Structure 1
Amino acid sequence: MPYVNLQITKGATREQKAELVKDFTESLTRVLGKKPEHTHIVIQEIEEQDWGYAGLLTDDWKRQQAKG
């Protein structure tokens, strides 16, 4: 039984999440022969202030990038 825990920063639409679930499920079916009805995908959305990247909190990193 495949279990995928996908962590992303907040902001994805319901439609985008549905597409991710579909794509991950199809990949596991195609590549590993797993049954879709046995595949679990969990999407965890994390606030940008709770995610670090390149030594900064993601919201700070994005602000820095926007400044150039």
Structure 2
Amino acid sequence: MPVVHLHITQGATREQKAQIVKEFTGTLQSVLGKKPEYTHVVIQETDEESWGFNGMLTDEFRKNEDLIK
């Protein structure tokens, strides 16, 4: 039974999440032959101030990114 755990920052719509589940399930089926009825996809959303990379929190990174544009 495959289980996919996906962590993203908050903001994805229900439709986007549904597309992710559909496409990840399809990929596991086509590449590994896994049955869709046994495939689970867990999407965990984290707010931007609780996610960091490159030495800063994501909300701060995005503020700086907007200044560069």
Does TM, scored on the shorter chain, surpass 0.5? yes
Identical-pair percentage:
57
1:46 CA drift (Å): 0.4
Q: How many residues are treated as equivalent by the alignment?
A: 68
Question: Tell me, what secondary structure is at the counterpart of 1:43?
Answer: strand
Gaps of at least 5 residues in structure 1 are none
1:67 CA drift (Å): 1.1
Gaps of at least 5 residues in structure 2 are none
Question: Tell me, what secondary structure is at the counterpart of 1:27?
Answer: helix
User: Who is 2:20 aligned against?
Assistant: 20
In the TM superposition, structure 1's runs of 4+ consecutive aligned residues that sit over 4 Å from their partners are none
User: Who is 1:56 aligned against?
Assistant: 56
Deviations 1:30-67 (A, max 9, x none): 00000000000000000000000211100000001111
CA RMSD of aligned residues (A): 0.5
TM-score (norm 1): 0.98
* Structure 2 CA distance for aligned equivalents of residues 36 and 67 of structure 1: 44
TM-score (norm 2): 0.96
